[in-house]
Amino acid sequence: MQNFQPPLPDRLLRLPQVLDLTGVKKSTWWAWCRSGHAPQGLKLGPGVTCWRESEIQAFINSAPRKAA
Looking at residue 1, what is its pLDDT?
A: 56
Q: Would you write out the chain's pLDDT as a tens digit for each of its 68 residues?
A: 577 776 777 899 999 999 999 999 999 999 999 999 999 999 999 999 999 999 999 999 998 777 66
pTM: 0.80
Looking at residue 68, what is its pLDDT?
A: 60
30: Cα separation from own chain's centroid? 12
Cβ neighbours of residue 11 closer than 8 Å, sequence gap 6 or more: 52, 53
3-state secondary structure of 45: strand
